[in-house]
Structure 1
Amino acid sequence: MAILRYPLILFCCIALTAPALAQVPDAAVKRYHDAIQYRLKRNDSMAYVALNDAIQKHPAYADAYSTLGSWYFTDRKYAAAVDVFVRASRSCRNGQSAFALPLARSLLYDYKPTQALQLVAGNSSSTNKEWDMLRRQATFMQKALANPLKDSVVNLGPRINTIYPELHPFISADTQKLYYTRMVRNVDMDCYMTIPDSCGGWFSGGNLGSPVNTPDHEAAQTVSADGHYLFYMRCDNRSENGWDQGGCDLYMAYTPDSVWSIGQPFGATINTPAYEGMPCLSPDNRDLYFVSDREGGYGGLDIWVSRFEDGLWQLPRNLGPAINTPANETAPFVHIDNKTLYFSSNGHPGMGGADLYYCRRVNDTDWSAPVNMGYPINSTGNEGSISVTMDGGKAYFSSDRDSLEGNYDIYETRLDEKVQPVPVAVLRGYTYDSLTKARLSHGAIVINDARTGEKLYRFVSNRGDGSYMITLPVGKNYTYVANRIGYQQVTGDILLADSTGGPQPVNFSISLLPQGYTAPIYDSLILTIHFPINSKTLSDSAKNIIQSAITPWLGEQGFVLMVNGYTDNTGTPMLNEELSAMRAKLVADEILGYGLSEFSVTSQGWGEAAPVASNDTEIGRDLNRRVEVVIRR
C-alpha cells in the first residue's frame, strides 16, 4: 500500500547516506535532511525541491541522486528518474557503474527498452540476477511495443472504480453479472456485484452483503459456470491455536436462486495455516484452482489445483515450474472452454510489473508454457487478475497503471484473436422425468469420444434444480450416457465435428424414463441420432448407440417404436422431407436387424419441422439434423 512506502524508502536512504556525510558540505546535508522530513510528512513537491537544492550545492552528492531517483521511480515519474540517474552517472565518482542498474530499470519503465538493453549489454558480465531479469523484460517489451495487439483498454469509470482499490473482476457465464472486490477505506475488503445497463455500460456496483461479507476480509470471488456456487477467500480468521486455519482461507457458498447461503470453509485438505486464496472452479466443476504459499512450492505464491473425486476434494497439486516461479503467480482463471488458463505473475518476462499470461491445456493435468498477453493489456504497472467472457471476445482485468498511489481499477478490453480461448460449444440444460416433466437432481451424465469411445467427462446435474452445463471442444463428435437411480439409462450423440466459431450456448436437456414404469398413452424418447450435413449413412458410433438403446427392449411385448427423422432448414422443404425419411428408414432398418417385428417399428420423415435449436447457428443446425426413436406402449 502507498502509505507504507515512505518509511521503508527513508530507512534505506538514511542507512546508505551515513558513511558519506563527512564528505558533503553542511548546507547540502541540511537540505537532504529537509527532504527526508518533507517526505515523511507526505509533502512530495517540497521534498523534490530540497533534494535538487542539495544536489545543486554539491553536484557529486551520490546519495541525494540515489534518493531523488528512487522517489521519482516509486512515484512513477519514470522520465524524471531517468534524468536524475543520467546526471548521477556523469557527475558522481564511479557513477556509470553505480547507477547503471537503476537507470536501466527506469528506462524500461519509461517504455525505452532499446536504451535499457544497451545498458544491459554493457553489464553482461555481472552476476546480479536483476540484470538477467531486466534483459528478459526489455527484450520482451521491445518486441511487444513493435507488435502491439489490437486490444483496446478502457477504464470502467466512476460507477465501478473509486478512490479505493477495485480488484479481482469476474464476469458470469451469461455476462449479466460482474463481480469484483473493493478495499473499502483501504481497510476492509468486501465482494461487490453489478449488472449491465441499457447503454452498454454497468450500473453502480453494490455490496453483496451478509452472509457473504463480514467484518473480516472477503475477496477474490468467482462463481461456478452454472451460477450456483460462489468461491471466495476470507482473511483474518486464524484460529486461536494458529493451526486449524490460516490468515486467508477458501470458502464456498451456494444459491438455488438468488440468495447466497452462509459461506462454509473448505476442509484441512485445502485450507492450511499458510495462505490460501483466489479460487477458481473449472467449468466442469471438477478442478479447483487457487493460490497458496504452502510448503512444496517454488518460491512465493504458487498456483495449485485440487480435483473432486469420489465426493471429496483431493490433496492439491502444484502446477509445476512451467507455470510457477520463485516469484509470485496469482489469480488463476480457467475459461469456460476448460482449455485456457489465465493468471498474473511477476516472475515471467514481461513489461515490468506483474503481467497477465495465458497457457493452453496439454492433457488432463499439464499446461503449455505461459505466453504474455502483450501490450497494451500489460503495462509497466501491475496487472492483477483477469476474467474473459464466454465468447472470448472481451475481458475484464484489474491494474494500477493509471495510479500514482498503487490504487487498482477495473478495465475492459476487447481481446486480440491471439489471446482468445479455444472455440467450444456450451451445452446447458437439465435432467427431467419423461412423464411428469419434473426436473431431476443428481442425474449422472457421461460424455464419450464418438470415435474412440474414450470417457472424456463425467458430471452430475445440480442438487437443486437438476441443471448442468458442460463445454465441449468443437470439431469432433461425442456420445452421451445418462442415468439416475430409479430411472432407465438413456444414450445419444452430439455432433460438433462441423462446428466452428466461439462458444455458443446450446439448450441440451435430457429426459429419463422411470425404471419399470409402463405408460400406455405416453410417448417416451429413448434414442437420438444426429447426422452430419448431407449424410445418408450410419456411423459406427451411431450403430453402437442404437444397440445400447434397443437391447433392453429385446424380448419385451406390447410396444411400438416410432422412428422420426428431421433436418435443419438448409435446402428446399421437399428435399429435406425426402432426406429425413431416408435417414429415419436407415435407423429403422438397423433396429429391425435385432430381430424386432416389422409391425413394431415405423418410420417417417418430417423435414425441417420441430427444430430443437435455432437454425441461425451452425451448432443449432447440427442438433436439428437428427432421428428420434420414441417408444409407445
Structure 2
Amino acid sequence: MKTKNGLAPFLPFAFFCLFVGVSFFVTPLLWAQNTGTSSKKAEKHYEEAMQSFKIRNFEKGIYELKKAVQNDPDYFDAHYELANNYKILNKTKEHLIHLRKAAQLNPQDSRFSDMYFQYGEVLLLQDGDYTEAEAQFSKYLTMKKEGRYSKMAVKHLATCKYALEGMKNPLKFEPKQMPDPLNQFPLQYFPVATADDEEMYFTARLSNQRKDYEDIYHTRKIDGVWQAPTLVEDLNTPFNEGTCSISADGKTMIFTVCEGVPERRVIGRCDLFISYKKGDKWTKPQNLGENVNSTAWDTQPSLSADGRTLYFISDRKTAQTIGGIDIWYSQLQADGEWSPAQNLGIPINTAGHEVGVFIHTNGRTLYFASDTHIGYGSYDLFKAEKLPDGTWEKPQNLGYPINTFSDQSGIFVSADGKKGYYSDLKMDDENMFYSYLFEFELPQEAQAKTQSRYVKGTIYDAQTKRPLGAKIELYNLETQKPESLLASDDKNGSYLFVMNEGGKYALNVNKESYLFESQSFDFSKEAQNLTIDFYLKKIEKGSKVVLSNIFFETAKWDLKSESITELDLVVKYLKENPSIKIEIAGHTDNVGSQASNQNLSEKRAQAVVEYLKDKGIAQERLIAKGYGQTQPAHPNDNDENRAKNRRIEFEIL
C-alpha cells in the first residue's frame, strides 16, 4: 500500500517494470566563470568532480564534491551538483540534504527556478513537509507562471492545501503487521481473500533479487489462525505469476502472466489468465483472450463476487483511453465468453494514472489508487459508489492517515466492509525493497455504503449423502431479477455466495434428475452470515420440497409480488419435466380455529395452482390440497417454528 522513493505502487507485473515518482531533471549551471566560492581548494575539488562525472566515475565525482563543501560549506554549485547526482543514484536522504542547502543558499535566483519546483516535489513526495513544499511551489510560480512545470506546480499547491486541511481531522487508522507464519518472505503483496475470510492468496518472491520470480501463495485460516502459506503448484511455473483476484467463493481465479511460454501464450506485455478450482485442484489456466487482453500491459485484476465482472488495469492506447493507465472492465456473457473490454470512464479515470483497482463484494463500491484525483501526494486511495443508473459517483479520498505523502495502492476490503488488507513496501539503506502484509480496521468514513453477508454450505444427495455439483441461482425478490449464478463444487459440493444488506432474496438450487430446493433470505433487516446445507431429492413419486419463497399477507391467500420469482421457477421446472404431475399443498400454524386454517390452506394452494395454469401448465398435472394445521413440520411452540409451519409444499405424484 505504501511505497517510498517513488517506486510505483503497482508492483507486479513485473515487480520493477515501472518507475514513477519525483521528477528528475538536471539544470545546467548558468554561470561558467563565477563558481560561487572564494575557496581555491573548493573550486579545485569541484572542477575535478566535473571531470569525473564526464567519464561516469560517480564515486570519484561525489567524493570531490564532498571535499568541496568541506572547504566551503556555503558552496552553492557543489551542493547543487551533489543533489543532482544523489538523485541519479537514488540516495534520497542525501539528495534532500543537499537540495535543501542549495535552495537555502540561493533562494530567489530565477535562473534556477526549476530547482525550487524540484525542491518542492522532494519536500512533498519524500518528506511530507506540506507547509514548506507549498512555499517552494509558490516561489516557483512567482518566477515562472508559464514555466514547463507550472501546471504541475499548481496541482502540487492544491495537494498541499488539501493535505494540510485534511490532517486537521485524522481518521483512526492502526494497521498491524499480520502475524507469523505469514510475512516469511522478503516480498509479499496484493493479498485477496474469500468472502468468509477463511482463505487468502497473495504474490510473493523468495528474495528481493531479480533472479527470483513472483509466485502465487495460499494460506487458510483454521480456528481463527492463519496457517503457513503454501505455493499454489497448479498455477505457478518457473516464470512470473502474480497479482491475482478470486471470486467470493474462492473457486475462480484471474491472475497475471508476463512471460509467454508454449503452454501460456501471451498477447501483450502482460496478460490476464483464468483458472477454476475443482475440489483441491486448479484447472489449467487459460488466456482470457483478445476481448480482454491487448498488446499492451494488462494486469491487476479484480473479480466481482460472483465471478462475472472483471475490472483490471491497462495502459493500452485506443479511442477509449483517457489517461496513461486506466481502469477497464469486461463481463462474462451467457455464452461463456468475456465481452470486449470497456474503459470505466470519467469520473473514475483521469488524464493521469489509475491503478490498484478492487471491487467490493457488494458489486457497488470501487476502491482504487490515483495520482491525479486530489489527495496527499502521488498515489492515494479512493472509493466510489456505483449509482442506480450504472454510472459512478465522484471518487472520495479515503483520508489521512490512510493516505499520506507516500504512495498508497492495493487495498482489499472484507465483505462486511470493516477490515482492510494491504502490503507495505519499504526500502532500506542499501536500496533493497521489502514488503509485508498488514491488516487494519477500516474507519467508518472509508467503508462501503452497502455491506455484504455470505451464505455457504454443502449440497448433498438426500439419500446417499454424496456431495453434488448443482446450479445455484440467487434472485432479488424486490426487482425479480437474478443477482448471481454459480455452481457448487462437483468434487466436494461446497458453495458460497454473497448477498447485500438491505434486500430480500430467493435462492434456487437445482440439478438434473433432482427435485429443486429453495430458500428465502430477508436481509432488509439485520443480516448475518449463514451456513446452510441442502439435501436434494431424486425426482420420484412422493418426493416433496417446501416452496420457501411463496408469500401471502397474514390470513389472506393473495400472492404477494415477491412470490413471482419462485412461481416462475416452478413453471420453468414443470416445462422442463413435462411428464411429472404434482400436488401443491397448503399448510398453516395452529393460530386461529381449525376450520379457518383449513379454509386458508386450501385457498392458498389453489392460488398457486391458478398461477401455474395461467402460465401454461395443464390442469391435469396439478392438484391443490389444503392440510390446515394437521401436518406441522415443527412444534408450534414459538414464532420461528410457527412461521416454518406456514408453508406451501410441492410433491411429485
Shorter-normalised TM range: 0.7 to 0.9
Q: Distance in 1 between matches of 2:85 and 2:642?
A: 67
Q: Secondary structure of 1:312's match?
A: coil
Q: Deviations over 1:461-508 (max 9, x none)?
A: 4555554433222223234555554456666643222225xxx42235
* 1:448 to 2:476 alignment: yes
Of the three residues 183, 193, 197, the one matched with 1:171 is 193
Q: Distance in 1 between matches of 2:95 and 2:304?
A: 40
Whether the 8 Å CA contact 2:550–2:566 is kept in 1: the answer is no
Q: Distance in 1 between matches of 2:636 and 2:60?
A: 72
* 1:506 to 2:506 alignment: no
Whether the 8 Å CA contact 1:429–1:507 is kept in 2: the answer is yes
Q: Distance in 2 between matches of 1:541 and 1:8?
A: 55
The 5-angstrom pairing of residues 592-607 of structure 1 reads 592-593=606-607, 600-603=626-629
Q: Distance in 1 between matches of 2:110 and 2:508?
A: 75
Of the three residues 377, 402, 406, the one matched with 2:402 is 377
* 1:627 to 2:638 alignment: no
Provide the residue aligned with 1:226 in structure 2.
Answer: 249
Whether the 8 Å CA contact 1:35–1:47 is kept in 2: the answer is no
Report which stretch shifted further, 475-484 or 378-387.
Answer: 475-484
- By how many angstroms is 1:286 displaced? 0.9
Q: Deviations over 1:530-560 (max 9, x none)?
A: 889x966676225546865887699998957
Q: Distance in 1 between matches of 2:445 and 2:380?
A: 16
Whether the 8 Å CA contact 2:48–2:64 is kept in 1: the answer is no
Q: Given residue 23 of structure 1, which amino acid in structure 2 is its aligned partner?
A: N
Distance 1:530 1:429, change over 3 A: farther
* 1:23 to 2:34 alignment: yes
Provide the residue aligned with 2:424 in structure 1.
Answer: 399
Q: Distance in 1 between matches of 2:597 and 2:170?
A: 51
Whether the 8 Å CA contact 1:153–1:376 is kept in 2: the answer is no
Report which stretch shifted further, 432-441 or 330-339.
Answer: 432-441
Whether the 8 Å CA contact 1:377–1:413 is kept in 2: the answer is no
Q: Distance in 2 between matches of 1:535 and 1:43?
A: 89
Greater relative CO, 1 or 2 (CA 8 Å, sep 6+):
2
Q: Given residue 257 of structure 2, which amino acid in structure 1 is its aligned partner?
A: R
Q: Given residue 531 of structure 2, which amino acid in structure 1 is its aligned partner?
A: N
- By how many angstroms is 1:309 displaced? 0.7
- By how many angstroms is 1:324 displaced? 1.8
Of the three residues 64, 70, 75, the one matched with 1:58 is 75
Whether the 8 Å CA contact 1:531–1:622 is kept in 2: the answer is no
* 1:423 to 2:448 alignment: no
Whether the 8 Å CA contact 1:354–1:381 is kept in 2: the answer is yes
Q: Deviations over 1:91-143 (max 9, x none)?
A: x7337844331232233243332443344455274462211220232133123
Provide the residue aligned with 2:306 in structure 1.
Answer: 284
Q: Given residue 590 of structure 1, which amino acid in structure 2 is its aligned partner?
A: R
- By how many angstroms is 1:29 displaced? 3.2
Provide the residue aligned with 2:613 in structure 1.
Answer: none
Distance 1:132 1:561, change over 3 A: same
Provide the residue aligned with 2:614 in structure 1.
Answer: none
Provide the residue aligned with 2:616 in structure 1.
Answer: none
Q: Distance in 2 between matches of 1:244 and 1:312?
A: 18
Q: Distance in 2 between matches of 1:8 and 1:344?
A: 14
- By how many angstroms is 1:282 displaced? 0.5
Distance 1:176 1:543, change over 3 A: closer
- By how many angstroms is 1:164 displaced? 3.5
Q: Given residue 92 of structure 2, which amino acid in structure 1 is its aligned partner?
A: D
Q: Deviations over 1:245-303 (max 9, x none)?
A: 22211122322222333333222222232111112210011101221112222232222
Q: Deviations over 1:196-234 (max 9, x none)?
A: 587x775554433x3322121111122221122222111
Q: Given residue 239 of structure 2, which amino acid in structure 1 is its aligned partner?
A: D
Provide the residue aligned with 2:39 in structure 1.
Answer: none
* 1:470 to 2:488 alignment: no
Number of positions where the alignment pairs a residue of Structure 1 with one of Structure 2: 598
Report which stretch shifted further, 454-463 or 100-109.
Answer: 454-463
Report which stretch shifted further, 343-352 or 103-112.
Answer: 103-112
Q: Deviations over 1:586-628 (max 9, x none)?
A: 55542245589886534358698599xxx9xxxx989976733
Whether the 8 Å CA contact 2:455–2:531 is kept in 1: the answer is yes
Q: Distance in 2 between matches of 1:410 and 1:513?
A: 46
- By how many angstroms is 1:564 displaced? 5.8
Q: Given residue 232 of structure 1, which amino acid in structure 2 is its aligned partner?
A: F
Q: Secondary structure of 2:368's match?
A: strand
Q: Distance in 2 between matches of 1:178 and 1:54?
A: 58
Report which stretch shifted further, 170-179 or 480-489.
Answer: 480-489
TM-score of the aligned structures, taking structure 2 as reference length:
0.76
Q: Distance in 2 between matches of 1:233 and 1:518?
A: 48
Q: Secondary structure of 2:162's match?
A: helix
Whether the 8 Å CA contact 2:234–2:281 is kept in 1: the answer is no
Q: Given residue 159 of structure 2, which amino acid in structure 1 is its aligned partner?
A: Q
Distance 1:295 1:447, change over 3 A: same
Q: Distance in 2 between matches of 1:578 and 1:430?
A: 35
Identity %: 21
Which structure 1 residue ranges, 5 or more long, are not aligned?
566-576
- By how many angstroms is 1:161 displaced? 4.0
Q: Distance in 2 between matches of 1:47 and 1:26?
A: 9
Q: Distance in 2 between matches of 1:364 and 1:8?
A: 36
Q: Distance in 2 between matches of 1:283 and 1:222?
A: 10
* 1:216 to 2:239 alignment: yes
Provide the residue aligned with 2:231 in structure 1.
Answer: 207
Q: Given residue 45 of structure 2, which amino acid in structure 1 is its aligned partner?
A: A
Of the three residues 131, 141, 144, the one matched with 2:163 is 141
Provide the residue aligned with 1:591 in structure 2.
Answer: 605
Provide the residue aligned with 2:365 in structure 1.
Answer: 340
Provide the residue aligned with 1:245 in structure 2.
Answer: 267
Provide the residue aligned with 1:107 in structure 2.
Answer: 123
Q: Distance in 2 between matches of 1:361 and 1:583?
A: 47
Whether the 8 Å CA contact 1:354–1:384 is kept in 2: the answer is yes
Q: Secondary structure of 2:374's match?
A: coil
TM-score of the aligned structures, taking structure 1 as reference length:
0.78
Q: Given residue 47 of structure 2, which amino acid in structure 1 is its aligned partner?
A: V
Provide the residue aligned with 1:116 in structure 2.
Answer: 133
Whether the 8 Å CA contact 2:52–2:61 is kept in 1: the answer is no
Distance 1:307 1:493, change over 3 A: same
Q: Distance in 1 between matches of 2:92 and 2:344?
A: 35
Q: Deviations over 1:564-602 (max 9, x none)?
A: 65xxxxxxxxxxx74999999855542245589886534
Q: Distance in 2 between matches of 1:53 and 1:623?
A: 90
Q: Secondary structure of 1:528's match?
A: coil
Q: Secondary structure of 1:222's match?
A: strand
